[in-house]
Amino acid sequence: MSGSGSKPSIGFIGVGFMGHGMAKNIVEAGYALTVMAHRNRAPVEDLIGRGAKEAKTPREIAEASDIVFLCVTGSPQVRAVTEGENGLAAAGRTLTIVDCSTSDPSVTVPLAESLAARNITLLDAPLGRTPKDAWEGTLDVMIGGAAEDVARVRPVIDTFAQRVIHTGQTGTGHTMKLLNNFLSMGYGALYAEALMLGAKAGLSAETFHSVIAGGRMDCGFYQTFMQYVVGRDRNAHKFTLNNALKDTAYLNAFAVAQGAANPLAAAVRNSYAQAVGAGRGDDFVPMLADFIAEANGVKRAE
C-alpha cells in the first residue's frame, strides 16, 4: 500500500454534490487523498485546504492511489475515466475502483471482467440519501463484489456511510440502486400528478400536505419533495430531472434485457422524459410538480 502507515492511499473522481462530502470525510479520517477537478473548482480548493492533493488526469489519480472512488454521472463517464486515454487503467497498476455512481449494470458487469484482466478490481457501490448525508457521513451504500474485496474497502466507506449493505456479486449494487430510484422517482411522479389533480378540484398543496404528512404515506422522500412544493425550498432535494430520467431509462433498459414487462417503470420514465424534453432537465425532482401542473393548465401561485 502506498498510503501513510497501514492506510491505503485514496483517489476520488467526481467531487460534486455527493462526492465533495464523501471526499471530505475520507481526508478528515486521515487517508492520503488525491482528487481531480471537473467543472467546479470550489470543492477541489476546499479539499486541498483539508489536506488533499490534486491530479490532472485519472491516470495520475491511479498512480497515486490504492483505491479510487468514482462519483460521476453514469456509465459513459465511468468508462471514460477507467478505459479512456489517460484513464485509470492506463497507469498499469494493481488497483481497486469503487464506482459510487448510479450506473447501468449491463455495462458494469462486462467492464469489471475487462478490468480484472488488467489486475483492476471494480466494485459497484451506489449511494442512498442526500448531499447533506454525504457531508455528515450518514449515507447508505449498496455494494456489489467479492466479500474479500468489499472487506478491503469497507473502512474507507465507513467514513461517509452509516449503513452498508453487501448486495452480492459485482453488478447487484447498481441493480439495487436502480430499483431504489424506481421507487423514489415513482413516488415523485405520483405526487406531482396527485397535486395537479387536487389543484383542479381546488385543493391547495398545503391542504394536500396537511392530510398526507404524518400519515402512513409519509416518508423521507415525501418530506423533501414537499419542502419544495409547500416551502419553495429549491435546495430541499438536489437531484435533477436529467438524472431522474437517466436512472429510470437505465431501469427500462434492464427490464428490456430481462425480457420483462414493466408498464409502471415505463410510465414513470415518461413523466420525467416529458419534463426534460420541455427543457426542464436542470430542475430538481420536486419541480416536476410545477411542470405537471403547468402542462395541465394549473398555475401555482408563488
> pLDDT digit string (tens) for 226-235?
999 999 999 9
Q: Which CATH class is domain 10-169?
A: alpha beta
Q: In the chain, where are the structural domains located?
A: 10-169, 175-295
DSSP bridge pairs for 121: 96
Measure the CA–CA gap between 130 and 116, rounded to whole angstroms.
31
Give the model's confidence band at 302: pLDDT under 50 very low, under 70 low, under 90 confident, else very high: low
Give the model's confidence band at 301: pLDDT under 50 very low, under 70 low, under 90 confident, else very high: low
Measure the CA–CA gap between 172 and 251, rounded to whole angstroms.
13
Task: Report pLDDT for 6.
Answer: 85
Which pairing describes strands 95-99 and 67-70: parallel, antiparallel, or unpaired?
parallel
- The DSSP call for residue 164 is E
**CA distances from residue 107 to 180, 248, 250, 256, 295 in whole angstroms, order as listed:** 19, 16, 10, 14, 35
Count CB atoms within 10 A of the CB of residue 234: 13
Give the model's confidence band at 5: pLDDT under 50 very low, under 70 low, under 90 confident, else very high: low
> For 36, left (φ over 0), alpha (ψ -120 to 50), or beta?
beta
Q: What fold is seen in the domain 175-295?
A: N-(1-d-carboxylethyl)-l-norvaline Dehydrogenase; domain 2 (1.10.1040)
**Mean pLDDT, residues 122-149:** 96
> pLDDT digit string (tens) for 107-133?
999 999 999 999 999 999 999 988 899
Task: Report pLDDT for 140.
Answer: 97
> pLDDT digit string (tens) for 77-96?
999 999 999 999 999 999 99
**Mean pLDDT, residues 22-26:** 98
Is the pLDDT score of 300 beyond 90?
no
Task: Report pLDDT for 127.
Answer: 95
The SS3 call for residue 180 is helix
Q: What does residue 268 show for φ and ψ, rounded to 5 degrees?
A: -65, -45
> CA angle 12-18-24, nearest 5°?
55
What is the DSSP code string of 80-129?
Answer: HHHHSTT-GGGG---EEEEE-S---HHHHHHHHHHHHTTTEEEEE--EES
Q: Catalytic residue numbers?
A: 177
Higher-pLDDT residue of 264 and 254 is 264
Tell me which amino acid residue 1 is.
M
Q: Look up residue 104 and give its three cell numbers.
A: 447501468
Higher-pLDDT residue of 290 and 3 is 290
> pLDDT digit string (tens) for 60-78?
999 999 999 999 999 999 9
**Mean pLDDT, residues 28-34:** 98
